[in-house]
Every structure is written in structure tokens, then in C-alpha cells.
DNA sequence: CGTCTAGTTGAGCCCTGTCAATAGTAGTGG
DNA sequence: CCACTACTATTGACAGGGCTCAACTAGACG
């Protein structure tokens, strides 16, 4: 889990503690690709997503600076990882599956938190209405943002839809309703102000 | 993570490698309860579920014999664990959060698989229709059953609904449709035969 | 036999998806 | 700076899948 020196340029071989940069929409690893490394996000935003045969897409999580991904229980990645916006990340070699070194406690803790988050996300998908899902999503963004009430959406409406199990149209209509209700205000379509955090929290239980 | 001798009867203090038995619908641990142990299912079926203020319920997973639960990233359980049917389980003391011993590799692997399962469940909830969800669920039961095509549903229709993010009525109608389509046949409402596994697999992608 | 619960079925409605058109935004090149 | 293009987002009309409410059926149990 430690960076080690490696003779080749990190841009060419990201297996050993290499810092790499990704442009928006770049693929970090594909679905089904061999899991050779785990990745720590330094800056930017990453989405973990899978695609169906018929083109339906699902985003299981967004990962911001400080979060780690790429751990698998199989030898391949169960989903793709893609940069949502310009993203910097550091690659660590995956442990030898045959003789794994113990997980550092903080990594183990991060994995347990991610499991809990995945279950919470499932709960949201199963039982929330469109407005409730959107409210929860905005609060999630608020938690990532520097200031609680001014957030920048790095992702497209399609990304939000694929994360919440909705369509772009429903996202748009939901945001319009929250705007009418004076819960949010738009600075640009991607930048918005949260005018009523309490109401958002009420919506998202 | 090993059973240790303990002077008191395991029925009274289940903290140390104690085997305990639960009747159907019994609570194994409540939501918010302090996480003092992890539990290995020996026999039966356990559901992990959370309840909303307004009574909506969500089941994040079912755990059968051989599966383990109770690991948390906080000091309390984020959801309740309840016996679906008569269930036997063995309780191990949770590791000291201040000075955790390393996770055994097979436990770590189980946790990673549970995370992947949670994300797969989220994908199902987000993007599948009622029939697709039901098909996936029946295949899941089939995987737990002794024979691939004869399954016993230990849980109620309400449990299935709360696991798939649907209502009991929709579950009932979906099963009726699968019966009309000769994909399943009922022996009793809780015992059914899978007549067309290929068609179930097609439905659930 | 009566009661209770689990499950099924029906009727109607509403939320969200689909399809389509429009508006806004960003990027490019002259 | 503006015209052109491509993409992203919004809005409208309509349809349908699943929810709600309600009645009914089937077992289980005393």
C-alpha cells in the first residue's frame, strides 16, 4: 500500500504509487478490466458506473478527494471508473491476492463506510420519490462543497439521473420545482445556492 | 474473531462465541444499538432492515447460512437484524475499535463481496422493472436453495416488497404473471418451482 | 366454527418515463 | 466580436407502470 520507485514514467505505467491526471469524461479503468491497482482521489470527482446491454447506465457512487476505490473481491473490476471533471489521482498496486498483507485500519474503515453508503443509497433508490432523491443528492453535494449552501454540480443531469435511478427530464423538473418552492436558486445551471437546508433535510428524511 | 470460553450462559451474554437461537421475526439486534459483536449465520435466514419515521421499511439484504454480519464503521448498528424464520447464529465479540486486530483474509473477502452485492442491489433498484426485480430475486433464492429449480420463500410478500422497493400487491401480480407465462409454478404460496430458468435470467439481464 | 393473518385480485389515479420541441451554453474558427 | 455548431438543459403533451384503496380468498390456529 506504499508508493515505490519505478523506472518508467508514471503516465505510461500507473502500477506503482504513480500520480495520474485525467481529463473530464476520461476512463480510469473499464468494467471487467483486471484489478491491478487501487486509486486514491487527490482532486476532482470520479464516478463508478456500469452499463447494461441495452445502454441503460447506473452510477453506484461518486468519489471525491480523499476517497479510495478499486478494491474488488474478484480479480476484475465489477464496474468502470471515470473522471467526471479534471481529476488527479494516485495509483497504488493492489495487494497480492494469493498472500494479501493486512488492510491498514483506516482503509478497512473506509471500506466499511462505503458499504454502509451503498446500502443507504439502495434505501434511497428503493423508497424515495424523485424530489426526495434530489434533496438527498443536493445535501450530499453540499457535504462535499466548501460552503454548505453554495454548490457546484460537476456532473451532467444525465449523471445525476443515472445515480438516482431517474431520467434527465425528471431531474430537470425536480430542480425547477425546488426553485419554485424557493428551496434552491440557480446561479448557472451547474452552480446553485441552497436557500433552505432544513427543507432539503426534511425531504430526505 | 475466535470463540473463547466464557463463564456465563451464552443465552444470557452472547458476547463471546456463543451460539444463539432465534424464532421467526425475532430481533437479533436493533437499529442504533451498540455494535458489540459480529454474527455468523449457521442455519436459517436473517434480514438487515431499516425503518423510516413514516413506517416505510427497507431490507438491504438477506443473509443465509455461512454469511456474516454486524461489522460497522461506527459504534452502533446502522440497521436492525431480524430472523426471517427459525435461525441459529454464533456471536463473536467485535474487535476493539481503538486497537483493531487485522481482519482475517476470508472475512475481508466476504466484506468486499457484500459491498459489491450492495451496489448490484442498488443497480437493480434503480433500473429494473417489477418483473425484472422479481426475476432477479427468484434467481437469488435459487442460488441459496439446494436444488436450482425448487425454492422455498422463507420470507413474506411484504419482506420481498421491502427488499425490491415495491409493494405487496405488485409482488403478487408479478408472481401471477410469471405463473401465467409458465415461468414458475406454485406448490404452495411459499414453495415454487422454476420452470424456465433461462427466461428468468433473460429478464434479470 | 370464528378469528386472524397472508396473499390475491380489481379499479382508479398519479408519478415518472417517453417522445418531441425549444432554449440555453460552450467551443471553434473566421 | 460574431456566426456556426454541438451539446446540455428545460419544458410540454401524453402514456403507462406501479401505488393506493378496497374487497375478497385461503390457510392457520384456537
The number of beta carbons lying within 10 Å of the beta carbon of residue A96 is 8
Q: Give the pLDDT band (50/70/90) at residue B16.
A: low
Whether B63 contacts chain A with CB within 8 A:
no
- Round to whole Å and give the CA distance between B162 and B181: 25
Contact A47, A62 (CB under 8 A): yes
Mean pLDDT of chain A, nearest integer: 91
Residue intervals of chain A classified under CATH 1.10.10.10 are 128-203
Q: Which CATH class is domain A128-203?
A: mainly alpha
| Spatial strand order in the sheet of A150-152 | A150-152, A191-194, A184-188
Mean pLDDT of chain B, nearest integer: 91
Three-class SS of residue B30? coil
Whether B114 contacts chain A with CB within 8 A:
yes
pLDDT tens string A183-195: 999 999 999 999 9
Cβ within 8 Å, pair B115-A113: no
- Round to whole Å and give the CA distance between B14 and B25: 19
- Report the residue of chain A nearest B97, measured CA to CA: A105
Which residue from B50, B73, B120 is facing A112, i.e. has the nearest CB?
B73
At A84, give phi and psi (nearest 5°): -80, -45
Whether B87 contacts chain A with CB within 8 A:
no
The number of beta carbons lying within 10 Å of the beta carbon of residue B156 is 15
CB-based contacts of B198, cutoff 8 Å, min separation 6:
none
CA of B171 to C1' of C10 (A): 15
Contact A201, A140 (CB under 8 A): no
Residue A173 Cβ < 7 Å to strand D: yes
Q: Which CATH class is domain A11-122?
A: mainly beta
Nearest CA to B129 among A52, A143, A149, A71? A52
A16 pLDDT more than 70: no
- Which is more confident, A55 or B123? B123
Nearest CA to A140 among A128, A129, A153? A153
What burial letters (b/e) apply to A107-137, b meaning 16+ CB within 10 Å? ebebbbebbbbbbbbbbbbbbbebbbbbbbb
- Round to whole Å and give the CA distance between A70 and A80: 10
B100 pLDDT more than 70: yes
pLDDT tens string B154-199: 999 999 999 999 999 999 999 999 999 999 999 999 999 999 999 9
pLDDT in the model for residue B146? 93
Nearest CA to A91 among A20, A27, A7, A9? A20
- Report the residue of chain A nearest B55, measured CA to CA: A127
CA of A156 to C1' of C29 (A): 27
Residue intervals of chain B classified under CATH 2.60.120.10 are 11-122
Cβ within 8 Å, pair A100-B100: no
pLDDT tens string A154-178: 999 999 999 999 999 999 999 999 9
pLDDT in the model for residue A14? 44
Amino acid at each position: 500500500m506504499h508508493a515505490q520507485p519505478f523506472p518508467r514514467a508514471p503516465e505510461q505505467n500507473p502500477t506503482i504509487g504513480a500520480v495520474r491526471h485525467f481529463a473530464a469524461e476520461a476512463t480510469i479503468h473499464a468494467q471487467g478490466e483486471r484489478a491491478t491497482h487501487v486509486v486514491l482521489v487527490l482532486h476532482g470527482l470520479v464516478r463508478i458506473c456500469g452499463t447494461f446491454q441495452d445502454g441503460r447506465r447506473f452510477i453506484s457512487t461518486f468519489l471525491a478527494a480523499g476517497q479510495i476505490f478499486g478494491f474488488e473481491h474478484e480479480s476484475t473490476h465489477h464496474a468502470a471508473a471515470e473522471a467526471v471533471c479534471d481529476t488527479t489521482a494516485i495509483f497504488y498496486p493492489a495487494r497480492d491476492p494469493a498472500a494479501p498483507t493486512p488492510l491498514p485500519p483506516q482503509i478497512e474503515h473506509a471500506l466499511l463506510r462505503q458499504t454502509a453508503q451503498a446500502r443507504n443509497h439502495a434505501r434511497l433508490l428503493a423508497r424515495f420519490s424523485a424530489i426526495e432523491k434530489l434533496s438527498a443528492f443536493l445535501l450530499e453535494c453540499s457535504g462535499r462543497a466548501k460552503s454548505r449552501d453554495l454548490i457546484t454540480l460537476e456532473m451532467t443531469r444525465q449523471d445525476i439521473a443515472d445515480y438516482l435511478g431517474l431520467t434527465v427530464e425528471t431531474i430537470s423538473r425536480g430542480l425547477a420545482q425546488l426553485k419554485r418552492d424557493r428551496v434552491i436558486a440557480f446561479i448557472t445551471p451547474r452552480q446553485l445556492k441552497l436557500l433552505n437546508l432544513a427543507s432539503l433535510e426534511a425531504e430526505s428524511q
